């Protein structure tokens, strides 16, 4: 805490409230420490310094150092391990078996070395590829491990440069601005005034907005840097885990006092220090035990459905091969047994005995296994991988996937499931940020039961046209929406920097942190713009009626409203608390451009040249003077009639505050800018001096009722768009969030002046409570206040009842609740996102009692989340409803067209959202997920039995409508070609809420629920939790055996993205958690249309055609075409054999002369079969086919001219040369090719003329003119 007096008061209250507890638990805590150490559930971290030396050596042996190794192989294990992994493939084991079998003399069919060549070639190619990939990882690991950082040396008693790989748990690390954090460490010192460290976590979650991390409580008041030699505490924390959003532990001092640790005190490896000159921390996790490395699971590997099908069909081919070889072996044995004497071609053994027919048949079985091995294609898997890489290349280089505003394109994170995109049957989509832009625009609000429609703001949004990037930058410059990147960019409001590419982001995550120059030359701002800061979000036009009421608020009226109970005074209090809640109840980070925050003494006011009292008065209007919560000061905003004596008396108070290091940096900078006599002020950019706070309302007539005093430009860094929208809305009404520190929040409130609230606690939002709260001490009333905002579904149940309210206010609060609920329902019907705002006043005794329980929860490690949740629920009761807000989240571009196209393709789309039912249904209609003619069924019940009954009734009604429509369609003679299961003219949609979803997901109701959803075109699940989303996706995937795709943009969508067959993340404004968990990442929902219907279709058809071509050919890869392909191959094989057989029947040609036409005809059949199956013929096809024919003839001519010896009496010498001069050879090849391909060619002709497929129809229409297309349709 920066203020010494308030810090002393705070510590005194803590000591009083916990003295008895700590005294009684000191012995038990020591025992707990010993047991935790032995149990191994927790980690003990102690510094590697002199007085801890012996204990450190014992403990540190259990922990890893900071060296990382992401490679899979070493020089010693590369060959055996790579071969071991490659032989995990059944096909490779099969061909290894054939190689070994060919070395057996009795069944040898080819030369031993020749049979090894295909397998050796495949294994070598894959080994070289794996080796090169691993070597590139090794080089990157080496580069990262040798990065330098400042580590405290106990020998030299100072910080020295040390490589990252030499950092150990317990080391003290000192980092400067823009340096990357080398290991997970607890923050013990920051040069920032308030013990804050700003970090950028883009390398972990992709979020470019700054995050605050704060020094451990008790160390933040240090003026000088922490001395590692004097650090005598130890840290106990949880064991290493991959949860980036959680850190539990405590610091135990030498006097047994404990201070709780949370994620706010932890700096994670891979993050970058921003806006902070220096920080010091102690390492708690290093190397592969850091959270970043534990999250670095490497590239996704999923097996596509096609790959699983290929494995199954290869097994069928193996069985077919065995059947063929068994048939040949039995036939060979029977044929030999018919000879009464030993046939002349049966060569006896060296001892003179001949092989019996049975044994000869057994040997022939294995010989035929070798001869017919071509039935199992050895290069199939390699060819599949090459084709998939080519498909990924085409997808990633498609210019249609590029999004100019975010400068991003598609990312293919899973390289082997591209063909699954063409087989998707169900799409599960989030709403916010996925179907919508996630640009939250403040539209309406309700305060004390009175609605304010903000019609002026609505008109602005209707006429608003999104500007291009340059215009948007200039607009931000005018409205004061500054980015923190401008701290490094001179006078510009926005720093236009080159965005981080995907490789950089991947390097930042875990094993590949972005590399920075060692000399640190130049500050490198991070990429992109500040999230949630476009003009459409920040420019809010105030409501005229509310602005008039707001202008009447003053310090005098506010004090009266707290004492009086009249309707007007109470309304004033409600309005004041409502806007204070909007400005305070959040985690927004406030920064001022070009002024990095540092911990330093501010100069006293006495050295500032002041020319007149009027100038001082004007300066005070710009300053944010902090107040002591124990003795609140009057407002510093003076009227023009104020006497000089009273003003000078307040100047003495200000002089005392200015000399304190607790002075707000923004106030000091505002004072410095008006000190024109100091030469260094000439360097401050003039355009940063003042700004119109309520941007967008300067032309409003009601705005003149409030004096708009100039203020320094502020940049709001919000973690969610809702928070940013509410803060900007409060700012439009001159309730301006000026600064935020770990222990206080300063708000400049029109009429009340600058108010500094002591920030006691922040209870963050979670998916269980669905709300967040802040506990503050009011600077005027000195009361402890709780401001809460959250979903109305939970907030309305937390309001105080009539018995808890005084008789005077109970009726009024009930009316406010009823009116607010009506407004909320209206907002939901309009498709707005709703939030309820409430407050609670606590006495000091109540707060002390709650604080006692909360402190126990904060300092515990085991079961900490449950204890903190219980503590939050205990606090958030008996609330007073202040009002509600309605925020618009606009649809993304192209969403309705995309959904229509996907539905026409037979894909069913489900919307899974956490919003209200009315909001979800409204958005579903807007994006055409639900059509106006659809029959909507709402499934909402309180019990499982009632839910089953309702679903049965809905099914009956759908079946009645379906049968009725079928009868009507039959009477009209219409034929339905719809892929849907419903009858034409009837379409149903299902809406279900989260509570009912709990019932239908029970085992007893799953089947009827799925039967119901199959008969619905669209399903909308509202109020769904992240866990419910994943359960729904898993249910459809496992029960219906359908191909599922889940698409989302936030951390709450990660679970369903991982469960689905294909996960798609949208790189929106809520970070990159969804992207990092996905298989494919896109920037807009509309990109799904081309990704699935074009690239997915292409990938699937091309790959299946190639696979079938390996097995021997067809169009669609289904079980029946597979066997049709084999039958076609058998037919062509018979033609290849019997046409030459009957041609040369009765002649005395040898086996080579008979086999050469067969091989040549087979080559022509294969190549021309490929031409028949090609969708289009390019120059590449022509070159490949002609080259194949030429190469074949060149090789056979060369082989026939050089190979003079073979197994006598047959000899291949000069065979091809003789056939090239024989007309019969050409006739045999031509006749064989035509007869073999005639059935397939006729089939394709019929399909292209009489039985047109939808694809051929579309191709035909595409060639026509628009007029001809309309006539044909």
Residues with catalytic function: 430
Contact present, 1080 and 1061 (Cβ < 8 Å): no
CA 900, CA 896: separation in Å to the nearest integer? Answer: 6
- Residue reference for tokens 């640009």: 439
| Distances 461 to 212, 442, 539, 730 between C-alpha atoms, Å | 33, 10, 10, 18
Contact present, 643 and 617 (Cβ < 8 Å): no
Structure tokens that stand for 942 in this block: 């309180």
**Helical residues (DSSP H) of 1065-1150, grouped into ranges:** 1073-1076, 1087-1090, 1097-1111, 1119-1143
CA 315, CA 118: separation in Å to the nearest integer? Answer: 20
CA 1229, CA 574: separation in Å to the nearest integer? Answer: 95
Q: If we measure between CA atoms, which residue out of 314, 306, 358 comes closest to residue 332? A: 358
- Residue reference for tokens 């972005």: 514
CA 1118, CA 78: separation in Å to the nearest integer? Answer: 39
Residue 402 DSSP class? -
**Helical residues (DSSP H) of 440-566, grouped into ranges:** 455-463, 469-479, 502-508, 535-538, 544-551, 555-563
Contact present, 915 and 833 (Cβ < 8 Å): yes
Q: If we measure between CA atoms, which residue out of 216, 188, 198 comes closest to residue 590? A: 198
Write out the E strands in 6-80.
42-45
Side-chain-side CA neighbours of residue 944 (13 Å): 9
The residues pairing with 881 across neighbouring beta strands, listed in sequence order, are: 838
The DSSP-derived string for 683-708 is: GS-GGGS---SSTT-TT-GGGGGS--
CA 737, CA 691: separation in Å to the nearest integer? Answer: 15
CA end-to-end distance (rounded Å), the chain? 75
CA 618, CA 627: separation in Å to the nearest integer? Answer: 20
- Rg of the chain on CA atoms, in Å: 38
φ/ψ of 763, rounded to 5, equals -105, 100
CA 742, CA 581: separation in Å to the nearest integer? Answer: 17
The DSSP-derived string for 228-283 is: GGG---EEEEEPP---TT---EEEE-TTS-EEEE-GGGEEPTT-EEES-SEEEEEE
φ/ψ of 912, rounded to 5, equals -115, 110
Name the 3-class secondary structure at 510: coil
The residues pairing with 186 across neighbouring beta strands, listed in sequence order, are: 266, 282
CA 564, CA 555: separation in Å to the nearest integer? Answer: 14
CA 501, CA 408: separation in Å to the nearest integer? Answer: 8
CA 666, CA 623: separation in Å to the nearest integer? Answer: 8
Structure tokens that stand for 271 in this block: 């993050």
CA 633, CA 756: separation in Å to the nearest integer? Answer: 11
Q: What b/e string do you get for 842-853 counting C-beta neighbours within 10 Å, with b at 16 or more?
A: beeeebeebbee
| Distances 615 to 162, 706, 1092 between C-alpha atoms, Å | 53, 21, 66
Contact present, 274 and 200 (Cβ < 8 Å): yes
């Amino acid at each position: 805490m920066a203020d010494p007096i308030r810090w002393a008061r705070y510590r005194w209250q803590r000591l009083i409230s916990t003295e008895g507890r700590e005294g009684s638990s000191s012995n038990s805590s020591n025992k707990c420490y010993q047991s935790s150490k032995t149990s191994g559930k927790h980690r003990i971290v102690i510094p590697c310094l002199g007085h801890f030396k012996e204990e450190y050596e014992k403990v540190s042996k259990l922990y890893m150092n900071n060296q990382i190794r992401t490679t899979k192989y070493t020089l010693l294990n590369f060959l055996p391990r790579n071969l071991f992994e490659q032989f995990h493939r059944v096909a490779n084991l099969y061909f290894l078996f054939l190689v070994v079998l060919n070395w057996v003399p009795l069944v040898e069919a080819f030369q031993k070395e020749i049979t090894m060549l295909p397998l050796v070639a495949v294994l070598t190619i894959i080994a070289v590829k794996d080796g090169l990939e691993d070597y590139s990882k090794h080089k990157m690991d080496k580069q990262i491990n040798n990065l330098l950082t400042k580590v405290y040396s106990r020998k030299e008693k100072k910080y020295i440069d040390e490589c990252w790989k030499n950092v150990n748990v317990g080391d003290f690390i000192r980092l400067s601005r823009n340096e990357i954090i080398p290991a997970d460490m607890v923050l013990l010192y920051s040069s920032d005034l308030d013990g804050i460290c700003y970090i950028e976590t883009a390398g972990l979650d992709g979020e470019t907005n700054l995050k605050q991390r704060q020094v451990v409580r008790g160390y933040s008041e240090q003026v000088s840097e922490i001395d590692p030699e004097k650090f005598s505490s130890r840290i106990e924390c949880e064991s290493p885990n991959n949860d980036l959003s959680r850190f539990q532990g405590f610091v135990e001092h030498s006097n047994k006092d404990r201070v709780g640790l949370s994620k706010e005190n932890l700096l994670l490896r891979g993050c970058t220090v921003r806006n902070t000159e220096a920080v010091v921390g102690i390492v708690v996790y290093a190397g592969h035990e850091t959270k970043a490395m534990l999250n670095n699971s490497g590239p996704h590997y999923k097996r596509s459905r096609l790959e699983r099908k290929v494995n199954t069909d290869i097994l069928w081919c193996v069985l077919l091969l065995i059947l063929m070889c068994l048939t040949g072996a039995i036939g060979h044995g029977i044929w030999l047994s018919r000879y009464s004497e030993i046939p002349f071609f049966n060569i006896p053994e060296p001892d003179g005995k001949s092989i019996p027919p049975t044994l000869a048949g057994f040997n022939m079985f294995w010989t035929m296994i070798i001869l017919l091995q071509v039935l199992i294609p050895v290069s199939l898997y390699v060819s599949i991988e090459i084709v998939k890489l080519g498909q990924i290349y085409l997808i990633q280089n498609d210019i249609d996937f590029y999004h100019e505003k975010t400068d991003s394109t598609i990312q293919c994170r899973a390289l082997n499931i591209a063909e699954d995109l063409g087989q998707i049957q169900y799409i599960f989509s989030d709403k916010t940020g996925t179907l919508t832009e996630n640009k939250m625009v403040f539209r309406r609000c309700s305060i004390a039961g009175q609605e304010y429609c903000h019609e002026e703001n609505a008109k602005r949004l209707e006429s608003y046209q999104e500007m291009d990037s340059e215009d948007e930058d200039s607009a931000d410059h005018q409205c004061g929406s500054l980015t923190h990147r401008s701290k490094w960019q001179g006078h510009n409001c926005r720093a236009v920097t080159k965005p981080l590419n995907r490789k950089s982001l991947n390097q930042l995550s875990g094993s590949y942190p972005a590399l920075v120059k060692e000399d640190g030359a130049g500050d490198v701002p991070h990429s992109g713009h500040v999230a949630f800061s476009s003009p459409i979000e920040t420019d809010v036009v105030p409501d005229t009626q509310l602005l008039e009421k707001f202008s009447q608020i003053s310090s005098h009226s506010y004090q009266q409203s707290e004492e009086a109970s009249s309707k007007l005074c109470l309304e004033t209090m409600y309005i004041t608390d409502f806007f204070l809640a909007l400005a305070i109840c959040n985690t927004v980070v406030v920064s001022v451009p070009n002024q990095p925050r540092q911990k330093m003494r501010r100069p006293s006011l006495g050295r500032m040249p002041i020319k007149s009292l009027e100038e001082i008065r004007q300066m005070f209007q710009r300053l944010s003077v902090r107040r002591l919560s124990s003795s609140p000061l009057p407002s510093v905003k003076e009227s023009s009639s104020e006497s000089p004596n009273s003003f000078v008396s307040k100047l003495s108070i200000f002089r005392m505050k200015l000399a304190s290091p607790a002075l707000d940096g923004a106030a000091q900078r505002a004072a410095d800018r008006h000190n024109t006599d100091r030469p260094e002020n000439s360097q401050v950019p003039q355009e940063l001096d003042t700004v119109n706070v309520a941007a967008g309302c300067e032309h409003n007539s009601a705005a003149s009722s409030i004096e708009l005093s100039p203020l320094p430009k502020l940049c709001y860094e919000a973690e969610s768009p809702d928070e940013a929208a509410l803060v900007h809305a409060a700012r439009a009404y001159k309730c301006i969030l000026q600064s935020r520190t770990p222990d206080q929040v300063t708000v400049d409130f029109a009429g009340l002046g600058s108010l500094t609230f002591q920030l006691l606690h922040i209870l963050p939002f979670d998916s269980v409570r669905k709300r967040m709260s802040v506990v503050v001490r009011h600077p005027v009333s000195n009361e402890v206040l709780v401001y809460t905002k959250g979903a109305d579904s939970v907030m309305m149940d937390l309001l105080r009842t009539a018995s808890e309210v005084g008789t005077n206010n109970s009726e009024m609060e009930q009316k406010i609740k009823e009116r607010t609920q009506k407004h909320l329902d209206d907002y939901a019907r309009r498709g707005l996102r709703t939030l309820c705002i409430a407050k609670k006043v606590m006495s000091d005794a109540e707060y002390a009692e709650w604080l006692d329980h909360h402190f126990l929860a904060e300092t515990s490690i085991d079961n900490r989340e449950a204890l903190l949740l219980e503590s939050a629920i205990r606090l958030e009761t008996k609330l007073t409803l202040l009002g509600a807000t309605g925020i618009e989240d606009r649809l993304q571009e192209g969403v309705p067209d995309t959904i229509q196209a996907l539905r026409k393709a037979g894909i069913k789309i489900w919307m899974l959202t956490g919003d209200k039912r009315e909001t979800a249904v409204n958005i579903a209609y807007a994006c055409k997920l639900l059509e106006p003619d659809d029959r909507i069924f709402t499934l909402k019940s309180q019990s499982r039995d009632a839910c089953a009954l309702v679903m049965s009734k809905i099914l009956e009604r759908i079946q009645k409508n379906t049968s009725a429509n079928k009868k009507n369609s039959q009477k009209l003679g219409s034929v339905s070609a719809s892929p849907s299961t419903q009858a034409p003219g009837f379409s149903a949609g299902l809406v279900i809420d989260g509570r009912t979803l709990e019932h239908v997901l029970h085992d007893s109701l799953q089947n009827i629920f799925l039967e119901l959803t199959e008969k619905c075109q669209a399903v909308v699940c509202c109020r769904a939790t992240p866990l419910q989303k994943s359960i729904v996706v898993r249910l459809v995937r496992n029960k219906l055996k359908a191909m599922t795709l889940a698409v989302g943009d936030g951390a709450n969508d990660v679970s369903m993205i991982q469960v689905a067959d294909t996960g798609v993340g949208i790189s929106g404004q809520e970070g990159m958690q969804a992207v990092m968990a996905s298989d494919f990442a896109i920037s807009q929902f509309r990109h799904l249309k081309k990704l699935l219907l074009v690239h997915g279709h292409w990938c699937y058809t091309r790959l299946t055609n190639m696979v079938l071509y390996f097995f021997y050919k067809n169009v669609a890869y289904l079980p029946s075409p597979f066997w049709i392909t084999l039958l076609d191959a058998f037919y062509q094989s018979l033609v290849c054999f019997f046409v030459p057989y009957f041609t040369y029947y009765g002649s005395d040609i040898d086996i080579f002369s008979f086999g050469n036409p067969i091989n040549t005809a087979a080559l022509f059949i294969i190549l021309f079969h490929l031409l028949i199956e090609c969708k289009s013929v390019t120059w590449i096809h022509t070159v490949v086919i002609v080259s194949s024919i030429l190469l074949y003839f060149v090789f056979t001519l060369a082989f026939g001219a050089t190979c003079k010896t073979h197994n006598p009496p047959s000899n291949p010498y000069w065979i091809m040369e003789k056939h090239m001069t024989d007309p019969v050879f050409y006739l045999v090849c031509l006749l064989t090719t035509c007869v073999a391909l005639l059935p397939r060619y006729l089939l394709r002709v019929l399909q292209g003329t009489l039985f047109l497929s939808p694809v051929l129809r579309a191709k035909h229409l595409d060639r026509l003119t628009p007029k001809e297309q309309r006539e044909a349709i």
